[in-house]
């Protein structure tokens, strides 16, 4: 299908020769020459958006010349001009956890448009969509040569219904491709293969046009590809569906924060250490809803995998994206990963011609700036609950002791960890008798000769797209394993170890270097190609270890090379989670205890009886670089991606029907027809005031989408577990919330069901509970259904940064299906706010210093919000009345976080997909 461009193209369309051919492109210089403004000081990241405006300018129907001039005004005003624009990304990227419900919605929309008298074939992606199955593999088996084979077999057993459905979608929908299981993580596949930095395609006039590679993805870490100068960010599935159906993304021209990088990393410091420092700095700076662009001569010393690591964690520092302009390193990486030479020539020529190139004179205007000398970065970890909780490695043991003392409400210990644990001065081990650290808890493990205690590391996982895309830290991890093996060290027996690379290329170069054998020897066997531990698919711990942790209320620890460590995400048995570089993950597996200071205390004893310290097994920067340069080749990438969509024999054996609409299996517990479009009228409705709403949940700060819609496992006594048990699904086959996102019945029962969420309506209770209409404690789902039976509307109250974290649309879908009409918080994270509007739920922010605390809310109040009917405008201030349990009232003002006129239309229609469906049915 040809790309669509705007109508008025003559003023800004130019020709460019590169890679042996001539192509058209939309010239920013030509736009200046045409009198549309001075764009010379625009950052490269905003130039990408400006090019999009030039290409789709259509006389004002969606993009006008005033929209284009607004970018010149942005620069003139010092990086400020929040004008609403209509942005059209070139493509969409999905993974299976978020992709399955998106395809479910598309299938349901085909049913819905037929019910409205329309053509089912109108429900087809207009923009290319790639879905990579990467979230489904779970670590059931580890530490053995058969781990990979076993886990893949279990993956297919658990998920065959979902895979059949996705394969149906690949047949039924145009412009929709599926990358089969076992290939890699979507962001790494995107970085190494799918992304091109500059695309070419024919337009409706049959002319070949070059334009920047852009995308949105149904995973928040879509931002990773910004390291390759590809502008992309995460959106919820509902927003992605609208984009793939031709609906532009409504957004405000963002502020762009310039992050100047100077210097180079010191010896022994990794890209992970760098990104954890960047996350801390940008969270403190405040970049929610903003672009971050990295510049400065320090980029000359930063390989592209390191840039991708930083770009990957944009959701953790809160930005829309973290962008790196095109330069020589971009071209080097494109060449190394097997891109066509003509494409590389086009990228260079286009970037230099259209102002996307970072040369010595690159000096744009930014809304604000900050600076980091890479030489100041030190080895670090982040945790135990948030990615921005940066802890230098030298302080890791003492910081953990403080966390335990805070958790146990103990006075902080004095002296060193060693002195507190063992009077003889030996390093702490789980064999120590209890009581050597006052207030710490410990417990025996049935059938084992060791004890566990607060701080025992039970999971050490090299996982996720963030770091497994980076050969420098992967090779470093392998070298740590090699040196430890040579000295006779091994993982501690209570540590569940795993290696889940982001692509098959990683396995190829680890094996070529001989390092996989060393990793295997200390338990880091290949367990699968996918997100695994980082998404909550860490799999079960040894039953005896799990029992000891839970029977003794221990604070067990995980260390992972991922990007997320929110409460309840990694494992239901683990309370404290730390992000670390892959080589540090290996080191912590050897130590087995977070109370050990890796910088001063031994990790273990060598086969010669000598203490082994971290410095004894840590590779030099030169060792790592030489190995990467000699082992990682262009041919590896070309070979592994040659048949990327083919899959193995298991995928090829998955049989599906060939039909225009989906035949929803009534007995399926994975895929069900959602209720969103059933009984839908042809005409939109109106936005209504909210009268006498009860509070379903009263929540604190930094409530993440993991809190709202957890992705991990669940137990039989939960509402979701009871639903499956009633349908004869044994607990062993529950799988995870994430894998069952195609079934709204499971997902609405799992909304606000995180095991660590705390509803402040209940004193000290953890988990998904609320009060029902009778005032008694009940599961949130049960309470919501009781209110629904009475016809009572519901609201949720939150604190600051509500909806941080993943882009998962089910955090909004589940909120909607529970009957919540509004969420009132101190502030919202970007993606979740948009998702709430997209599902017809109105987000409001407190004003005038009001919070749930200043208002003394207990959850027993009712809330009435007016001003939503009639002439309701974006960002309106509306009155609200809080009626307390004793009958007294308080009038407050709320700010409606409905940011654009288009979002008003979405709310009138009941959501963005309803809006699109009605328009398609009427066209």
In this structure, what DSSP letter does residue 911 have? S
Mean pLDDT of 748-764: 95
Q: Does residue 255 have a pLDDT over 50? A: yes
Q: Which of 9-18, 653-662, 711-720, 743-752 has the lowest mean pLDDT?
A: 9-18
Q: pLDDT band for position 768 (50/70/90)?
A: very high
Q: How far is CA 808 from CA 97, 98, 107, 703, 812, in A?
A: 9, 6, 19, 14, 8
Burial code (b: 16+ CB inside 10 Å, e: under 16) for 675-700 equals ebbeebeeebeebeebeebbbbbbbb
Give the pLDDT band (50/70/90) at residue 6: low
Span 277-321, pLDDT tens digits: 999 999 999 998 999 999 999 999 999 999 999 999 999 999 999
Residues 231-245 have a mean pLDDT of: 88
Q: What is the pLDDT of residue 433?
A: 38
What is the model's pTM? 0.86
Write the Ramachandran bin of 110: left for phi over 0, alpha for psi from -120 to 50, otherwise beta: alpha
Please give the Cα distance from 823 to 805 (Å, whole number). Answer: 17
Asked if 114 and 677 count as a contact pair (C-beta separation under 8 A), the reply is no
Asked if 377 contacts 273 with a C-beta cutoff of 8 angstroms, the reply is yes
Give Cβ neighbours of residue 384 (< 8 Å, ≥ 6 apart).
Answer: 400, 403, 557, 565, 575, 576, 577, 578
Pick left, alpha or beta for residue 280 (phi over 0 → left; psi -120 to 50 → alpha; otherwise beta): alpha
Pairing label, strands 690-698, 862-865: antiparallel
pLDDT, position 418: 42
DSSP 190: I
Provide the residue ranges of all domains of the chain, joining segments of one domain with +: 91-376, 380-635, 690-922
Compute the average pLDDT of residues 739-747. 94
Name the strand (E) or helix (H) holding 112: helix 96-115
d(CA 844, CA 406) in angstroms, rounded, equals 33
Per-residue pLDDT of 723-733, as tens digits, reads: 999 999 999 89
- Is residue 44 a contact partner of residue 229, using CB atoms and an 8 Å limit? yes
Q: Would you say 581 and 619 are in contact if contact means Cβ atoms under 8 Å apart?
A: no
- Across the range 2-31, mean pLDDT stands at 84
What secondary structure letter does DSSP report for 361? T
Distances (CA, A) of 520 to 398, 478, 515, 534, 562: 31, 10, 9, 21, 20
Would you state the structure tokens that stand for residue 266, as one six-digit string? 């010191």
What CA–CA distance (Å, rounded) separates 10 from 26? 9
User: Does 380-635 match 690-922 in CATH topology?
Assistant: no
Name 214's bridge partners: 231
Q: How confident is the model at residue 348 (pLDDT cuts 50, 70, 90)?
A: very high
**Start-to-end Cα distance in the chain:** 19
- From 271, 192, 189, 222, select the one nearest 89 (Cα to Cα): 222
Nearest-CA neighbor of 216 among 321, 69, 368? 321
pLDDT at residue 71 in the model: 98
- Tell me how far apart the alpha carbons of residues 350 and 27 are, in angstroms, rounded to a whole number: 10
Can you give the pLDDT at residue 362?
96
807-840 core/surface letters (b: 16 or more CB in 10 A; e: else): bbbbbbbbbbbbbbbbbbbbbbbbbbbbbbbbbb
Q: What pLDDT is stored for residue 390 in this prediction?
A: 95
Residue 32: name the closest of 17, 16, 47 by CA: 47
20 — alpha (psi -120 to 50), left (phi > 0) or beta?
Answer: left
Beta bridge partners of 825: 845
pLDDT for 250 equals 83
Average pLDDT over residues 192-201: 96
pLDDT given at position 226: 98
| Cα–Cα distance measured from residue 421 to residue 417, given in angstroms and rounded to the nearest whole number | 6
Strand partners, 892: 880
Q: How far is CA 176 from CA 12, 101, 289, 529, 581, in A?
A: 32, 15, 29, 22, 35
- Nearest residue to 862 (alpha-carbon basis) of 610, 652, 694, 628: 694
pLDDT at 830: 80
Helix (H, G, I), strand (E, B) or coil at 303: coil
pLDDT higher at 848 or 870:
848
Q: Do residues 113 and 91 make contact, with C-beta atoms less than 8 angstroms apart?
A: no
Average pLDDT over the chain, rounded to an integer: 92
Summarised one tens digit per residue, pLDDT across range 401-444 is 999 988 888 876 655 444 344 333 333 444 443 334 567 899 99
Residue 167 to residues 124, 132, 153: CA-CA distances in angstroms? Answer: 15, 12, 18
- Compute the distance between CA of residue 523 and CA of residue 525 in angstroms, rounded to an integer: 6
Measured over the CA atoms of residue 339, residue 296, residue 371 and residue 290, the dihedral's sign is negative
Residue 324's SS3 state is coil
Q: How buried is 539 (Cβ within 10 angstroms: 0-12 exposed, 13-18 middle, 19+ buried)?
A: buried
The structure tokens listed for 216 are 């949105």
CA distance 357 to 327: 6
Confidence of residue 805 (pLDDT cuts 50, 70, 90): confident
Q: Residue 564: pLDDT band by 50, 70, 90 thresholds?
A: confident
868 vs 691: CA distance, rounded Å: 11
In which band, very low, low, confident or very high, does the pLDDT at 65 lie, cut at 50, 70 and 90?
very high
pLDDT score for 414: 55
**Which CATH entry fits the domain spanning 380-635: 3.40.50.1370, 3.30.499.10, 3.30.300.30, 3.30.70.360?**
3.30.499.10
| C-alpha span between 234 and 212 (Å, rounded) | 18
Q: Which of 218, 223, 99 is nearest to 167 (CA)?
A: 99
Helix (H/G/I), strand (E/B), else coil: 13: strand
CATH class of 91-376: alpha beta
**Which neighbouring-strand residues pair with 131?**
94, 178
Is 101 or 370 the better-scoring residue by pLDDT? Answer: 370
CA distance 14 to 637: 34
Give CA–CA dist 321/288, Å, rounded.
10
pLDDT digits (tens, 9 = 90+) for 579-606: 999 999 999 999 999 999 999 999 999 9
- State yes or no: pLDDT of 28 exceeds 50: yes
Helix axes 237-244, 912-922, angle to 10 degrees: 20
Residue 15: other Cβ atoms inside 10 A: 11
Distance, CA of 821 to CA of 548 (rounded, Å): 43
Using CA atoms, how far apart are residues 818 and 780, in angstroms rounded to an integer? 9
3-state secondary structure (DSSP) of residue 177: strand
Can you read off the two tokens belonging to residue 473? 């830290």
- Give the closest residue to 723 by CA, choosing from 713, 732, 734: 734
Q: Crossing angle of helices 621-631/471-487, nearest 10°?
A: 110
CATH superfamily assigned to domain 690-922: Aconitase, domain 4 (3.20.19.10)
Q: Which of the four pLDDT bands, split at 50, 70 and 90, describes residue 246?
A: confident
Which residues, including other chains, have CB under 8 Å from residue 558's CB and lie 6 or more apart?
457, 458, 459, 460, 461, 533, 538, 565, 570, 571, 574, 576, 577, 578
Q: Report phi then psi at 516, rounded to 5.
A: -60, -35
Provide the CA 554 distance to its chain's centre, in angstroms.
29
Sign of the alpha-carbon dihedral angle for 43, 47, 49, 54: positive
Say what the pLDDT of residue 735 is: 85
Phi/psi at 381 (5° precision): -130, 170
Q: Which run of H or of E encompasses 787? A: helix 780-790
């Amino acid at each position: 299908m040809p790309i669509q461009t705007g109508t008025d193209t003559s003023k800004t369309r130019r020709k460019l020769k590169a890679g042996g051919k001539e192509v058209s492109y939309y010239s920013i210089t030509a736009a200046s020459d045409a009198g549309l403004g001075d764009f010379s000081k625009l950052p490269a990241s905003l130039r990408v958006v400006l090019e999009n405006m030039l290409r789709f300018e259509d006389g004002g129907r969606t993009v006008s010349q005033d929209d284009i001039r607004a970018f010149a005004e942005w620069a003139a005003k010092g990086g400020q001009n929040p004008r609403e624009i209509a942005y059209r990304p070139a493509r969409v990227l999905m993974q299976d956890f978020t992709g399955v419900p998106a395809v479910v919605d598309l299938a349901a929309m085909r049913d819905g448009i037929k019910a409205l008298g329309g053509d089912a074939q109108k429900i087809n992606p207009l923009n290319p969509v790639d879905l990579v199955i990467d979230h489904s593999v779970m670590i059931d088996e580890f530490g053995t040569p058969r781990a990979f084979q076993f886990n893949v077999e279990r993956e297919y057993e658990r998920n065959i219904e979902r895979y059949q459905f996705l394969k149906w979608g690949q047949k039924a929908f145009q412009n929709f491709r599926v990358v089969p299981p076992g290939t890699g993580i979507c962001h790494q596949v995107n970085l190494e293969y799918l992304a091109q930095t500059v695309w070419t395609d024919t337009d409706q006039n049959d002319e070949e046009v070059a334009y920047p590679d852009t995308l949105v993805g149904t995973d928040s870490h879509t931002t990773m590809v910004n390291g390759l100068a590809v502008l992309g960010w995460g959106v919820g599935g509902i927003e992605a569906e609208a984009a793939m159906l031709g609906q532009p993304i409504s957004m405000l021209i963002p502020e762009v924060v310039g992050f100047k990088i100077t210097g180079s990393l010191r010896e022994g410091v990794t890209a992970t250490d760098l990104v954890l420092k960047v996350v801390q700095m940008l969270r403190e700076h405040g970049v929610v809803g903003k672009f971050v662009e990295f510049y400065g001569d320090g980029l000359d010393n930063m390989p592209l995998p390191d840039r991708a690591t930083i770009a990957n964690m944009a959701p953790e520092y809160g930005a829309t994206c973290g962008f790196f302009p095109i330069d020589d390193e971009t071209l080097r990486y494109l060449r190394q990963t097997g891109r066509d030479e003509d494409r590389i020539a086009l990228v260079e020529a286009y970037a230099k011609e259209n102002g996307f190139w970072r040369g010595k004179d690159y000096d744009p205007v930014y809304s604000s700036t900050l600076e980091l000398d890479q030489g100041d970065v030190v080895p670090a970890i982040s945790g135990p609950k948030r990615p921005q909780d940066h802890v230098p490695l030298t302080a890791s043991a003492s910081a953990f002791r403080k966390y335990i003392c805070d958790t146990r409400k103990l006075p902080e210990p004095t002296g060193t960890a060693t002195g507190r644990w063992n009077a003889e001065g030996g390093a702490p081990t789980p064999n120590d008798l209890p009581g050597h650290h006052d207030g710490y808890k410990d417990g025996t493990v049935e059938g084992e000769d060791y004890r566990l205690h607060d701080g025992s590391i039970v999971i050490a996982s090299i996982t996720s797209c963030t770091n497994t895309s980076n050969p420098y830290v992967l090779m470093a991890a392998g070298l740590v394993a090699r040196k430890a093996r040579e000295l006779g060290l091994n993982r501690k027996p209570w540590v569940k170890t795993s290696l889940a690379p982001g692509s098959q290329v990683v396995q190829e170069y680890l094996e070529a270097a001989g390092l996989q054998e060393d990793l295997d020897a200390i338990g880091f066997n290949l367990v699968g190609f996918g997100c695994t531990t980082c998404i909550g698919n860490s799999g079960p711990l040894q039953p005896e270890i799990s029992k000891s942790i839970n029977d003794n209320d221990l604070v067990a620890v995980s260390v992972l090379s991922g990007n997320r460590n929110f409460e309840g995400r990694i494992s239901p048995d683990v309370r404290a989670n730390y992000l670390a570089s892959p080589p540090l993950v290996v080191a912590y597996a050897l130590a087995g205890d977070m109370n050990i200071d890796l910088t001063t205390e031994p990790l273990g004893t060598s086969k010669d009886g000598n203490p082994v310290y971290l410095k004894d097994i840590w590779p030099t920067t030169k060792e790592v670089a030489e190995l990467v340069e000699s082992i990682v080749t262009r041919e590896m990438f070309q070979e592994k991606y040659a048949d990327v969509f083919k899959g193995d024999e298991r995928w090829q054996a998955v049989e599906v029907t060939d039909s225009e609409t989906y035949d929803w299996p009534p007995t399926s517990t994975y895929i069900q027809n959602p209720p969103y479009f059933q009984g839908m009228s042809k005409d939109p409705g109106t936005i209504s005031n909210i009268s006498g709403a009860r509070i379903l949940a009263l929540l604190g700060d930094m409530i993440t989408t993991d809190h709202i819609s957890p992705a991990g496992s669940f137990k039989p006594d939960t509402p979701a577990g009871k639903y499956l048990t009633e349908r004869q699904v044994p607990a062993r086959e529950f799988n995870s919330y994430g894998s069952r996102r195609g079934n709204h019945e499971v997902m609405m029962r799992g909304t606000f069901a995180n095991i660590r969420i705390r509803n402040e309506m209940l004193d000290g209770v953890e988990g998904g509970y609320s009060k029902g209409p009778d005032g008694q404690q009940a599961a949130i789902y049960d309470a919501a259904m009781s209110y629904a039976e009475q016809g009572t509307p519901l609201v949720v109250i939150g604190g600051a940064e509500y909806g941080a974290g993943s882009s998962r649309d089910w955090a909004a879908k589940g909120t909607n299906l529970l009957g919540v009409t509004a969420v009132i918080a101190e502030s919202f994270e970007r993606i979740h706010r948009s998702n709430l509007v997209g599902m017809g739920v109105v987000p409001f922010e407190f004003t005038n210093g009001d919070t749930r605390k200043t208002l003394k809310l207990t959850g027993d109040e009712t809330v009435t919000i007016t001003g939503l009917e009639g002439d309701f405008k974006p960002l309106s201030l509306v009155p609200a009345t809080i009626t307390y349990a004793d009958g007294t009232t308080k009038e407050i003002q709320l700010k409606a976080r409905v940011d654009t006129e288009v979002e008003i239309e979405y709310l009138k229609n009941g959501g963005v997909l309803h809006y699109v469906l009605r328009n398609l049915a009427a066209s």
